[in-house]
Amino acid sequence: MSSADALSVRVFPRLYRDSVTLMALAASAQKADGVVRVGAVMATPANLAILAEAGMLPEGLAASPDDLIISVRATDETAADAALDVAEAGLSAQDAGTGERVEVLPQTLAEGLAVDATCTVAAVSTPGTYAPVVVEQALRRGLHVFCFSDNVSVADEVRLKRMAAERNLLLMGPDCGTAILDGTPLGFANAVRPGPIAMIAASGTGAQEVSCLLDAAGAGVSQIIGVGGRDLSEDVGGLTTNVALDLVLADPGTEVVVLVSKPASPAVADALLARLGSVGRPVVACLLGLEDSDGAVTVRGTLEGGAAAAASAVGLELATTSGTPEPPPATLSARGVVGLYTGGTLASEAKVILGRADVAAEILDLGDDKYTAGRPHPMIDPSARAEHVEAAGSRADVGLLLVDLVIGHGAAADPATPLADAVRAARAAAERDGRTLVVVGSVCGTAADPQGIDGQRAILREAGVLLFASNAAAVRYAVACASQPPGSQADRQEELS
């Protein structure tokens, strides 16, 4: 054996404990200092043989099979006795259990449905690698799917959307940011009033802007069905858009249908417009960048134009201001126009309007993968954009900065304050260089949103942001400014005062 030289044994006559209890007892007593080995057994012949084999059975020990033996080998007698005391105390351990059961949270779709079989929609925001797995599981269980996850291949998207279409289920996404289904918002959505207008949207912030403009006009939405940015591409072919159309056309609460998308594949758009033209109720196709036209389907190339057409279909008009009168065009101290957007479709709309006016500008969608890499979307974490805004203040070539601010469910709790701080810093930096930076924008949201549009607007105004009723109005203002002949610093200050 070892250098250990103390072997102490205690016999507990006619005391029974199960062998597993005794092994656990021995394992815990063995942890004490100076203890080499502990054996705790019922004194059956077989167990005594095991103890003897391990050198832990004193010669001539008298014990019967009904007796319990604890044997300790330790470096000295004190340690051995201490270990025996610990083991003996363990024989009469008090119940420390609370009797409470820990409920296991459901981890899988199947387990979630076992908790509540009435679920009808699965919202999926897992890493993209696993999103197709979860989406397939949900579809096979008859659930509609809101898939926020991105980084899903086109092949998976097509396969899963076919599977959904066969089952008459909605697969919203992948990369779907916004939906309002029967009044329930999912992802980034605003607290808009209920009403007769259904939106089918391949663009999340596009749907938010149109629904908020409608809300301000007094018009409400029945549904917003996001379909994912690629739904109207050649590959996907509008699979979800068509299922969504079936559903909204059967929805008694829907009178007007609005389609919102960034530029679509011409073939897919043509097929869709052909179907939309014969649905027997007003349809507005808000397809960014297309020429406006009025036929069986009202086609609009901007979000604001689409919202106006939809409002008009229910006899309403869009609001023209954000609460303060629009200022006259400013004279810019530099020609450069920069747009720093968090809403991708708002950025696209800005490009369309600037392009139509032939005004060159630098418009960035900071929600794009190339800017987010490893960080949350700027609608969730506004600090990402703040850095860009501050940097713009030091650029001598920039005279006007365009921004958006998207609020609502899912967005940051107070996105206006970090933007306002960044605008102040940018304007101060420009000021130090003897320039003036004009900052122009709009807030996409409603009074009923958790952040409240009025408070968010006030914060931005206080930082000197000129606010407009819509992104389109803000961009038009930028166009007007950029179209002014360049003026002196004095002229410009006069106009702003």
Stretch that binds another protein, among 81-89, 102-110, 388-396, 454-462 (CB under 8 A): 102-110
Q: Residue 227 and residue 63: Cα distance in Å, rounded?
A: 79
Closer of 144 and 476 to another protein (Cβ): 144
Q: Residue 309 and residue 318: Cα distance in Å, rounded?
A: 9
**Chosen residue from 80, 83, 86, 191 binding another protein by CB under 8 A:** 191
**For residues 148-177, which are near another protein according to CB under 8 A?**
148-149
Cβ distance 198 to 221 under 8 Å?
yes
Contact pattern for another protein over residues 372 through 401, marking x by CB under 8 A? --------x---------------------
**For residues 277-306, which are near another protein according to CB under 8 A?**
none
Q: Residue 484 and residue 479: Cα distance in Å, rounded?
A: 9
Task: State residue 18 phi and psi, 5-degree precision.
Answer: -65, 150
Structure tokens at 496: 């702003």
- The Cβ-side half-sphere exposure at 302, using a 13 Å CA radius, reads 20
62 lines the binding site for another protein (CB under 8 A): no
Stretch that binds another protein, among 131-139, 200-208, 346-354, 426-434 (CB under 8 A): 131-139
**For residues 401-440, which are near another protein according to CB under 8 A?**
408-410
56 lines the binding site for another protein (CB under 8 A): yes
Q: Is the dihedral of CA 363, 367, 373, 378 positive or negative?
A: positive
Structure tokens at 337: 């126009």
CA 497 to chain centre: 42
Which residues, other chains included, contact 477 with Cβ-Cβ below 8 Å and sequence gap of 6+? Answer: 326, 327, 329, 440, 466, 468
**Chosen residue from 63, 83, 113, 416 binding another protein by CB under 8 A:** 113
Structure tokens at 89: 């105390």
**Chosen residue from 10, 34, 125, 351 binding another protein by CB under 8 A:** 125
Q: Residue 294 and residue 299: Cα distance in Å, rounded?
A: 6
11 lines the binding site for another protein (CB under 8 A): no
Structure tokens at 84: 């025996």
For 346, the 3-state DSSP assignment is helix
Sheet strands side by side (includes 336-341): 362-365, 336-341, 398-406, 438-444, 465-468
Alpha-helical regions (H) of 74-169: 77-91, 109-115, 131-140, 154-166
**Chosen residue from 185, 329, 355, 452 binding another protein by CB under 8 A:** 185
Type of residue found at 418: P
Type of residue found at 475: V
Shortest Cβ 50–another protein spacing (Å) = 5
Closer of 223 and 333 to another protein (Cβ): 223
Stretch that binds another protein, among 48-56, 273-281, 462-470, 477-485 (CB under 8 A): 48-56
**Chosen residue from 5, 31, 78, 106 binding another protein by CB under 8 A:** 106
**Chosen residue from 129, 293, 324, 489 binding another protein by CB under 8 A:** 129
**Chosen residue from 104, 280, 295, 434 binding another protein by CB under 8 A:** 104
Contact pattern for another protein over residues 434 through 473, marking x by CB under 8 A? ----------------x-----------------------
Q: Cis ω on the peptide bond leading into residue 174 (within 30° of 0)? A: yes
Label residue 31 exposed, middle or buried (CB < 10 Å: 0-12, 13-18, 19+): exposed
Stretch that binds another protein, among 132-140, 229-237, 261-269, 394-402 (CB under 8 A): 132-140
**Chosen residue from 20, 62, 373, 490 binding another protein by CB under 8 A:** 20
**Chosen residue from 32, 87, 247, 350 binding another protein by CB under 8 A:** 247
Closer of 182 and 462 to another protein (Cβ): 182
Shortest Cβ 38–another protein spacing (Å) = 7
**For residues 253-272, which are near another protein according to CB under 8 A?**
253
Q: Closest Cα to residue 223, out of 209, 205, 207?
A: 207
**For residues 21-40, which are near another protein according to CB under 8 A?**
21, 23-24, 26-27, 37-40
Q: Beta-strand (E) ranges in 389-454?
A: 398-406, 438-444
